[in-house]
Amino acid sequence: MTADVKEAAETAVTDYILAQETKDQLRFLTCGSVDDGKSTLIGRLLFDTKLIFEDQLAALERDSRKHGTVGEDIDLALLVDGLEAEREQGITIDVAYRFFATDKRKFIVADTPGHEQYTRNMATGASTADLAVLLVDARNGLLVQTRRHAFIASLLGIRHVVLAINKIDLVEYSQSRFDEIRKEFEVFANGFDFETLQAIPMSARFGDNVTARGQHMDWYAGPTLLEHLETVEVGEHALEAPFRFPVQWVNRPNLDFRGYSGTIASGRVSVGDELVVAGPAKMSRVKTIVGAGGEVPEAAAGEAVTITLEDEIDISRGDLLSTTAHRPDVADQFAAHVIWMSDEPLLPGRPYLLKIGTRTVTATVSEIKHKINVNTFEHVAGKTLELNEIAFCNFALSSAVPFDPYEANRSTGSFILIDRMSNATVGAGMIWFALRRASNIHWQALDVDKGARSEKLGQKPAVLWFTGLSGSGKSTIASIVEKKLHIDGRHTYTLDGDNVRHGLNKDLGFTDVDRVENIRRVGEVARLFTDAGLITLVSFISPFQSERQLARDLMGEGEFIEVFVDTPIEICRQRDPKGLYAKADRGEIKNFTGIDSPYEAPQTPEVHLKNVDREPEDIAEEVIAYLHERGFLGS
């Protein structure tokens, strides 16, 4: 090579490398047994991508020197045999990590072979994976293990799945066979929370649809496995979730600098943001953020940073910094799914160490609610938990810890259990929700009671619970009702769904757990107002019968008045006062009632308001009439 050519080649490589700086990373796991061709598939991916990579680089070479990438004989089977030999020697019954890269992404593959320890190994691999590739032998179709893999992937929070229908060559590259398996899986996977599900017919052995298309399946128009892995969008959840920052290490080089080092678990943070220490609820503002490359104005999920605050407050390792707008739960009891990973069974009542984020506390399982059969998903009773078993348990902790439900946050909702004697990691858990024991709260006996108060106000307290679709006219009608009552000299208060979310419930999101908590809090507040003798108007979509029942159960006999604002969805959609239906149709809002989340209409509401071609004034009058009839408005 001449000096010129060499320099040009080096410049090209430097440019290429620097361009790679923005290369993305995808972590995935492959599930399937030897018979499904998993080793062949991994071998194929590792081998083919290396060839592609080298071809690209060869193209960068100005002197067109050949690098012998073609024709040089590397046997794919050898690579695969290596993996299998390892297994036969009994060396690997565990998780191995393998790596390959393309121009667009670097891939980290968690390879979890072996059957005996499958649940434990797969859970380990899945815990850090963005995506799961489920292998199916086209000849056998879906097996019990396919279902098990899908279940564990879902339990560990994997939202992206590839159904690799392998050995398609052995069923004559049959489209109908592919469609049959794909449809069966789609029906089955409906119950899981997968965001993307891509079925791909492939032959790992011959390479069809792994990295290249092949010539046998013109009928398949979808991506190859590699194309899909390169382009599938994953991992935005952590960025979109509220800011969470488990403090790992207090950085104090001198008296002038006090920083809190850690990895941002979710969300983003900017200089000037108000943060709160979950639990003690001490607040301050972000003064500086030191990232890996120096001071930065903002940082986001996944980054390892050091944060300094405006105020000197006492923060140490194990504390969780969070946004003030959406705070985590803080509780010493919660319910969680647990995967047991030890030969010694889990025993309720036995103390274990529980590590969540950067905090370690002592914890006991207070109750095994049920075990889950990973093959049938049936709930079964159990007193203990054996190796590789999964159960739903109640936990009691030595002190309250901050956390989020795993569904909402994989980082702040996960924990490991450590045996205090052996120090072994014996279990892994995913928090479902906080448990609050009403029995721990002692009511103050009061002399001035509800009866005394309502008598003085000259009215019978009640809760008017307006339920109906978004845009059905609940708030409009409730507002008119309140005005009429006010003019009539009644004492009232309105709890509006949207307004409450700005204040009392601003820390709640829209997960099922949060929605229940939302209703619970509003119900409790309504109950207190009832106790104060007020007529409380609640305007909430409250789509689920069970939620409304929960609120009803909080009130005294006859005090809960369910008002069903019955407006057909077509009309709600036409009105769409907040543009929400349009957003939901575009997929920008998930779990939107009436679109992709059901509305369970009340079967026997106290007041049933049909809101079609009528004036809100007239409808409101119906409610007032009901209250008069039932004696709520006294004299």
Partner 1 sequence: MNMQSHGITPERLSNLKRLEAESIHIIREVAAEFSNPVMLYSIGKDSGVMLHLAMKAFYPSKPPFPLLHVDTTWKFRDMIQFRDDTAKRLGLDLLIYTNPEGVQKNINPFDHGSSVHTHIMKTEALKQALDKYGFDAAFGGARRDEEKSRAKERMFSFRNASHGWDPKNQRPELWNLYNARVAKGESIRAFPLSNWTELDIWQYILTENIPMVPLYLAAMRPVVERDGMLIMVDDDRMKLKPGEIIREKRVRFRTLGCYPLTGAIESDADTLPAIVREMLVARTSERQGRLIDKDESASMEKKKREGYF
Which letter does DSSP use for residue 467 in this model? Answer: E
365, two tokens: 């399982």
CB of residue 352 to partner 1, shortest distance in Å: 11
- Return the SS3 of 596: coil
CB of residue 206 to partner 1, shortest distance in Å: 24
The CA distance from 515 to 598, in Å, is 14
Measured from the CB atom, the residue of 138 and 353 that comes closer to partner 1 is: 353
The CA distance from 391 to 379, in Å, is 9
Phi-psi region of 594 (alpha: psi -120 to 50; beta: other; left: phi over 0): left
CB of residue 179 to partner 1, shortest distance in Å: 27
Measured from the CB atom, the residue of 82 and 451 that comes closer to partner 1 is: 82
CB of residue 251 to partner 1, shortest distance in Å: 5
Which of 146, 174, 176 has its CA nearest to residue 161?
Answer: 146
Q: At 127, which helix (H) or strand (E)?
A: helix 118-127
Measured from the CB atom, the residue of 303 and 622 that comes closer to partner 1 is: 303
CB of residue 357 to partner 1, shortest distance in Å: 8
How distant is the alpha carbon of residue 295 from its chain centre? 31
CB of residue 316 to partner 1, shortest distance in Å: 10
Instruction: Please name the amino acid found at residue 108.
Output: I
- Return the SS3 of 366: strand
The DSSP code sequence of 247-312 is --EEEEEETTEEEEEEE--BSEEETT-EEEETTTTEEEEEEEEEETTEEESEEETT-EEEEEESS-
The CA distance from 577 to 590, in Å, is 18
CB of residue 578 to partner 1, shortest distance in Å: 27
469, two tokens: 């679709």
CA distances from 42 to 37, 82, 117, 207 (A): 9, 12, 20, 11
Measured from the CB atom, the residue of 294 and 503 that comes closer to partner 1 is: 294
- Burial (CB < 10 A; 0-12, 13-18, 19+), residue 131, is buried
CB of residue 259 to partner 1, shortest distance in Å: 8
Measured from the CB atom, the residue of 228 and 491 that comes closer to partner 1 is: 228
Which of 395, 290, 390 has its CA nearest to residue 353?
Answer: 395
Largest CA distance in the chain: 105
CB of residue 114 to partner 1, shortest distance in Å: 11
Which of 507, 504, 541, 550 has its CA nearest to residue 525?
Answer: 504
Mark whether 479 is an active-site residue.
no
Q: Select which of 542, 546, 597, 635 is catalytic.
A: 542
Which of 246, 232, 298, 253 has its CA nearest to residue 277?
Answer: 246
Measured from the CB atom, the residue of 262 and 533 that comes closer to partner 1 is: 262
Measured from the CB atom, the residue of 105 and 350 that comes closer to partner 1 is: 105
Measured from the CB atom, the residue of 198 and 536 that comes closer to partner 1 is: 198
Measured from the CB atom, the residue of 304 and 452 that comes closer to partner 1 is: 304
Q: Give the residues across from 277 on adjacent strands.
A: 282, 321
Measured from the CB atom, the residue of 145 and 342 that comes closer to partner 1 is: 342
CB of residue 224 to partner 1, shortest distance in Å: 15
Which of 407, 404, 369, 394 has its CA nearest to residue 512?
Answer: 407
The CA distance from 494 to 484, in Å, is 13
269, 239 contact by CB (below 8 A):
no
The CA distance from 403 to 281, in Å, is 14
605, 564 contact by CB (below 8 A):
yes
Q: List the Cα angle 7/13/15 in 5-degree steps.
A: 105
| Catalytic annotation, residues | 542
